[in-house]
Amino acid sequence: MKSGSNLEKVLAAGHFSVTAECGPPRGADPEIVRKKAAFVRGHVDACNVTDNQTAMVRMSSLAGCMLIKEQGIEPLIQMVVRDRNRIALQSDLLGASALGVRNLLCLSGDHQKFGDDPQAKNVFDIDSMQLIHLVRTMRDEGVFPSGDKLEGAPQFFIGCAVNPFADPFEIRVPRLKLKIDAGADFVQTQCIYNMDKFKKYMEDARKEGLHEKVKILAGVTPLKSAGMAKFMRRMVAGMDIPEAVIERIAAEPKDKQAAKGIEMCIEQIEELKEVEGVAGVHVMAIEWEEKLEEIIGGAGLLPRPVLV
Which residues are near another protein by CB under 8 A?
82, 86, 108-111, 113-114, 122, 124-130, 133-134, 145, 161, 163, 166-168, 171, 174-175, 177-178, 181-182, 190, 237-238
Q: What is the 3-state secondary structure (H, E, C) of 144-182?
A: CCCCCECCCCCCCEEEEEECCCCCCHHHHHHHHHHHHHH
CB closer to another protein out of 168 and 303: 168
CB closer to another protein out of 179 and 260: 179
CB of 163 to another protein, least distance (A): 4
CB 81 within 8 A of CB 107: yes
CB of 80 to another protein, least distance (A): 10
CB closer to another protein out of 237 and 307: 237
CB of 177 to another protein, least distance (A): 7
Helix (H, G, I), strand (E, B) or coil at 108: coil
Phi, psi of 227 (to 5 degrees): -60, -45
CB closer to another protein out of 73 and 160: 160
Question: Which is nearest to 13 in space by CA: 26, 27, 1?
Answer: 1
CB of 44 to another protein, least distance (A): 23
CB 190 within 8 A of CB 162: yes
Question: Which is nearest to 69 in space by CA: 29, 90, 89, 40?
Answer: 40
CB 7 within 8 A of CB 157: yes
CB of 191 to another protein, least distance (A): 11
CB closer to another protein out of 60 and 130: 130
Helix (H, G, I), strand (E, B) or coil at 31: helix
Contacts of 59 (CB under 8 A, 6+ apart): 24, 25, 26, 27, 28, 33
CB of 79 to another protein, least distance (A): 15
CB of 127 to another protein, least distance (A): 4
CB closer to another protein out of 39 and 124: 124
CB closer to another protein out of 89 and 246: 89
User: How does DSSP classify residue 228?
Assistant: H
Question: Which is nearest to 39 in space by CA: 294, 305, 299?
Answer: 294
